[in-house]
Every structure is written in structure tokens, then in C-alpha cells.
Amino acid sequence: MTFLISYWGEQIGQKIRKITDCFHCHIFPYAEHEEGRLGALQQVQQQSHELQEVLGETERFLSQVLARVQQLLPPWQVQIRKMKAVYLALNQCSVSATHKCLIAEGWCAARDLPTLRQALQDGSSEAGVSAVVHRIPCRDMPPTLIRTNCFTASFQGIVDAYGVGRYQEVNPAPYTIITFPFLFAVMFGDVGHGLLMFLFALAMVLTENRPAVKSAQNEIWQTFFIGRYLLLLMGLFSVYTGFIYNECFSRATAIFSSGWSVAAMATQSDWSDAFLAQHPLLALDPNVSGVFLGPYPFGIDPIWSLAVNHLSFLNSFKMKMSVILGVTHMTFGVVLGVFNHVHFGQWHRLLLETLPELVFLLGLFGYLVFLIVYKWLQDYAARAASAPSILIHFINMFLFSRSPTNQPLFHGQEAVQSALVILALVTVPVLLLGTPLFLHWRHRSRSQRGPAGRQPDEDKSGILDSSDASVAGWGPDEEKAGCPEDGEEAEFVLSEVLMHQAIHTIEFCLGCISNTASYLRLWALSLAHAQLSEVLWAMVMRSGLGLGRKLGVAAVALVPIFAAFAVLTVAILLVMEGLSAFLHALRLHWVEFQNKFYSGTGYKLSPFTFASEED
């Protein structure tokens, strides 16, 4: 903005000057002559031109510098973050004023100690100062480190999601690698669906090293990608159980000839065409000779997929299968607890806990499995109406009563059952009082021997007297030498141990019953999957396949019908049912299997690493 100011008189002139000074204006005297004025204007214009050039140069220079910095900025940022992380880690060390050094205490796996020493030597050799590492005794529970490779990592992940194991406790993950996909497959069994899942997982596994696949940002894809080996095994086992259930997209295949002969039944029972026309439903009788030719050698007989009463047979089969698998899985869990007791040297728990637990579980539910298998091996077809009912026998076993109409399965069954129930009842007080009383007796005999002179080999077992009855022992790495918390060892509160043991006993005994029933979800979900699959086929594909005799019409209509079938199969049966079966198999592992032996109250070793800084 330019002003032309003309004034009369000196004083006004001074006031104007003061005002213009205030506003930091540039003042140019108005020359008398035209040339003077033009010259002044030219000068001012030149000045402004030069200033603009300088500004332009400066901006160009600035953008050049910034462009160079932009290329160098990401590695600088990474460097700064790394430096920050290193300093954060160094801040956690304590400064020793006397020795003028930093002291750091941390955990290190015993196997990695030589590597650690080597790394410290390499690092400090350049600086000229030496970094040394000593092993010191410690009373805290060490963190858990389980080394996994890319295959076992996902299975360890699902075990750790429930709880990281205590130090040196038995790790259920190696067994979970197979039992988890197997229990999933029992609930998902279908050859077609299993094959689709297997192929999808195989595609992910074969392309796992491609950067486009590895670093995809989509979260849902990342979830599937991390569990690709899990999906691979799940699909593979589902194909196997699909062959056993004889279901491929809900259709049965007759690989071997069926064990039921309709023709023999028809000829023996004189089923003429008129007779068949009058009776819409007829049953095959296994008593008639030649009708039942033997069990189907691999899986469920294909005749059942044609039968109207197939659910009656399948329900009975699947319920018994669930109970057998459940009792086996839980017994395996109790047996895994043996490894824990042996490793930590708690021999008394073998006799006072594992043995009563096994007697209780196998005496009651192992006997149920025995009844199931025994009845399967007997031929009751001739007197099917009066065949003994396992359920009523089992109920009467607990009530010590009998039903006169229910035949015994074998001679002396009542005596055996009574003996088993009494044996199981006897194990309950042993489980409840055995360990606390033993620990109490041992603590008293030890304190009576005198508190002086604690030998080194007693220190290891001394830990076991603490109030937590299921404490973890110490590995051979840690040495015991005068630590400040000596007082805790001598403390042994009987009431706390008794309460802990009472909770454990109630949990185990009631858990046996409820957990066995919980395994019936294997039956429930496999039934749901089979029925959903059957409904989808009947409603979608069959209406398309039965569209009429004109080939052209059927062929054209089948394309959208198959598209709908495929979309619904993937969306409902693969994704929804897959997630559902995954969840239930996970629950069976986390609760019913792991509460027999796993405490899961540890914490992971989290070493300092730059990897988490670079995401």
C-alpha cells in the first residue's frame, strides 16, 4: 500500500514522521522533478526485485535441503528410535558409584550363556572396557522361554493365549499340535469342506515367503495367515473324519459295498410292489438273515444317508464317541501331571493326588467307556427291545438301586459297580487330606530337627513347604546362597494348604462329571454341521439338479444355483462353522484338558529386541 502524504508545516510533519515510524513504514521523499521521482521509483522497484530474487533463491535452496533430508529421514528416525530404546534399557541399570559402572540384572537362558559372554566380549573389546556376566541366585520365579519355529509357533500361541506356563512346567503345546486339529475335525467332519480348507491353507503355506503375502496390512488376512499351519492340519484331519463320517458336501460315498442288503430284506419279507406302494416307510431288520452283512470297513455305512432314521443311529454313535474321546483326553491330561510331579521331585503328589485322581476318573468314567464298548461287542439284535440301557445302569450305579426291567450287561455287574463307586468315594478324602497332612507332618518333623544348620540340598525341598502347594521348583541353574527372604521358607500355614487342596478336590471331582458332559459338544457340533450341510444341499443344489428333463434349462439354471451353493458353503459352513468348531475345540483344550495339570501362571521371557521398534 502506498500513500502520498502532503503537509504544511514542520510540526505536522514531525507528527506524521512519528506515526510512520510507529508503523515501520518506508518513507521516500517526494522529489520536485519528474526525473527524480522516476529515479526513486526505479530504485525502489529494483530493490524489491532483488529482494524477490533472494527470496526465490532461498526457497529453492530450502526445498533442495528438505528433499535431501527426506531421503535420509527414515533411517535417521530408525536410528533415533533405536538409540532411545537402548537408552531406555540402560536407564534400567543401576549405577555403581564406587566402581563407576552400570550394573544390570536380567534373565538369560542357561543354554545361551556362552553366546551372551561372547557377545559382551565382542561389544566391549572395541571400547576397551570389559563387560562381565555373573550368575546370581534369585528367589523370584524365572520367566518361561519356549523356543518355537514357524510351524510350532501358532500352536504355542494358542496355548499361551490361555496362560503362559510356569517355569519348567510341562508344556501342552506339542500334544495340542495334533489333538486340537483332531477335535476340530471331529466337529467339522466333511471331506469337501475339509479339502477346501486344506487347499486354502496350502496356498498360504506355499506362498508364505512372498513379500506381498507376508506384509499384507489387512487384519483379517493377517489372522488367517498367522494360523496357516493350524488351518492346514485342521483341513487334513477334517478330510479324514469326513471319510469316517462318510460325508462329502453332505453326500455319502459307497467306496466299499454297503453292509446292509435291501434285496435280502425285500425277498425274505416278501416286499411285493403292491406292498411297497402301500407302505411309504419300511425298516430293515438286522435279525433277518442276510440283511446285515457286517460292519462297513471304513466309516459309517452309506445306507444310513438314505435312511429316514439316520439321526437315531448317528446320535447314539456320536454321543458314545464323544464320551470315549473325552475320557481319553482327560485321562491323558491327568497323566501329563505325572511329568510335573516327577520333574519337581514332589513324589508324594504321585501317590496322594495322581493316583486318587486316576482311580476316581477311570473307576467311574473309564467304567462307562468299558460299558459302552462291552455293549457294542454284544449281539442284542435278537432281543433288541429288551437290550440293557447303559444310561439307566449308570444312574443306578450312583444311586445303589436297580431297575428290574433293565437286564445286566454281564454277570456280577452290580457287585463290580458298587465296588467301583465305593472305591471312588474313598479316593475323595485321600485327595482332600492326603497332601496337606503329609506336608504338615514333614514340616513338623523338619522343624523339630532344629532350625540351625540348613544343608544346601535341603534348600530345594524347603521351597515346597511354602503355603502354595503347587509351587514350581527351581532348575539346576540357580544356586541357593543366603538370600534375604529366608523367613518365608519356614512359614507353612496348614489352613491355607487345606483350603487350596479342598478347592482342588472339589474342582476335580465335580469337574470330572461336568467336563465329561462338556465333551458332548463334539456330538452337538458335528450334528449341527451335518444338518446345515444337508439342508444347504437339499434346498439349493437338489432343487437345481431336479429341475426337469430338458437339459438346456437345467444347465443354464445350475450356474446361478451353484454360485449360490458355493457362496453359502464358504460363508456359512466354512467360515461360520469353522470358527465355531475352532472356538469349541479351543475351549475343550483350555478348560477340560488343561485344568487337569496346567497352571499357566508364568510369564514370558521378553528380551530386549529391536524388532518391535521397527514396525
Partner 1 sequence: MLASSAGGDPAHLSIRSSAWHPSLGVPRPAMTAHSFALPVIIFTTFWGLIGIAGPWFVPKGPNRGVIITMLVATAVCCYLFWLITILAQLNPLFGPQLKNETIWYVRFLWE
Q: Which of residues 185-224 bind partner 1 (CB under 8 A)?
A: 186
Q: By C-beta, is 19 or 538 nearer to partner 1?
A: 538
For residue 388, what are the contacts with CB-CB under 8 A and spacing of at least 6?
375, 380, 406, 407, 408, 409
Which span sits near partner 1 by CB under 8 A: 65-73, 178-186, 206-214, 587-595?
A: 178-186
Which residue do the cell numbers 471312588 mark? Answer: 424
Interface positions, 519-558, toward partner 1 (CB under 8 A): 542-543, 545-546
Q: Which of 248, 424, 469, 498 binds partner 1 (CB under 8 A)?
A: 248
Q: By C-beta, is 230 or 469 nearer to partner 1?
A: 230
Which span sits near partner 1 by CB under 8 A: 207-215, 275-283, 481-489, 586-594?
A: 275-283
Residue 290: name the closest of 266, 268, 267, 264 by CA: 264
Least separation, in Å, of the C-beta of 315 and partner 1?
Answer: 11
Q: By C-beta, is 146 or 213 nearer to partner 1?
A: 146
DSSP class per residue in 315-370:
HHHHHHHHHHHHHHHHHHHHHHHHHHHHHTT-HHHIIIIIHHHHHHHIIIIIHHHH
Signed CA dihedral, 592, 375, 186, 562: sign only: negative
Q: By C-beta, is 4 or 377 nearer to partner 1?
A: 377
Least separation, in Å, of the C-beta of 333 and partner 1?
Answer: 13
Which span sits near partner 1 by CB under 8 A: 170-178, 201-209, 452-460, 566-574?
A: 170-178
Q: Is 469 in the site for partner 1 (CB under 8 A)?
A: no
Least separation, in Å, of the C-beta of 381 and partner 1?
Answer: 6
Residue 229: name the closest of 146, 155, 148, 147 by CA: 155
Q: Which of 164, 165, 172, 182 binds partner 1 (CB under 8 A)?
A: 182
Q: By C-beta, is 31 or 276 nearer to partner 1?
A: 276
Q: By C-beta, is 496 or 534 nearer to partner 1?
A: 534
Q: Is 239 in the site for partner 1 (CB under 8 A)?
A: no
Q: Which of 80, 255, 373, 422 binds partner 1 (CB under 8 A)?
A: 373
Exposure b/e, 96-133, CB count within 10 A at least 16 = b: eeeeeeeeeeeebeeeeeeeeeeeeeeeeeeeeeebee
Interface positions, 326-365, toward partner 1 (CB under 8 A): 328
Residue type, 211: P
Q: Is 226 in the site for partner 1 (CB under 8 A)?
A: no
Least separation, in Å, of the C-beta of 361 and partner 1?
Answer: 17
**What's the burial of 358, exposed, middle or buried (CB within 10 Å: 0-12/13-18/19+)?**
middle
Task: List phi, psi (to 5°) of 101.
Answer: -150, 170
Q: Is 84 in the site for partner 1 (CB under 8 A)?
A: no
Q: Is 379 in the site for partner 1 (CB under 8 A)?
A: yes
Least separation, in Å, of the C-beta of 512 and partner 1?
Answer: 20
DSSP class per residue in 492-519:
--HHHHHHHHHHHHHHHHHHHHHHHHHT
Q: Is 562 in the site for partner 1 (CB under 8 A)?
A: no
Q: Which of 83, 119, 161, 384 binds partner 1 (CB under 8 A)?
A: 384
- Cell (9 digits) for 49: 526485485
Q: Distances in Å between the alpha carbon of 594 and those of 189, 429, 508?
A: 24, 23, 12
Task: List phi, psi (to 5°) of 144.
Answer: -100, 130
Q: β-pairing, 101-103 with 94-96?
A: antiparallel
Q: Determine the size of the site formed for partner 1 (CB under 8 A).
A: 85
Interface positions, 108-137, toward partner 1 (CB under 8 A): none
Phi-psi region of 466 (alpha: psi -120 to 50; beta: other; left: phi over 0): beta
Q: By C-beta, is 40 or 236 nearer to partner 1?
A: 236
Rounded distance, CA 238 to CA 241, Å? 5
Interface positions, 90-109, toward partner 1 (CB under 8 A): none
Which span sits near partner 1 by CB under 8 A: 21-29, 131-139, 259-267, 346-354?
A: 259-267
Rounded distance, CA 344 to CA 473, Å? 5
Least separation, in Å, of the C-beta of 150 and partner 1?
Answer: 12
Interface positions, 282-321, toward partner 1 (CB under 8 A): 282-286, 290-310, 312-313, 316-317, 320-321
3-state secondary structure of 464: helix
Q: Is 425 in the site for partner 1 (CB under 8 A)?
A: no
Residue type, 5: I
CA dihedral 304, 306, 307, 312 (to 10 degrees): 40
Rounded distance, CA 262 to CA 285, Å? 10
Least separation, in Å, of the C-beta of 310 and partner 1?
Answer: 7
Interface positions, 136-155, toward partner 1 (CB under 8 A): 149, 152
Q: Is 386 in the site for partner 1 (CB under 8 A)?
A: no
Least separation, in Å, of the C-beta of 405 and partner 1?
Answer: 16
Least separation, in Å, of the C-beta of 429 and partner 1?
Answer: 34
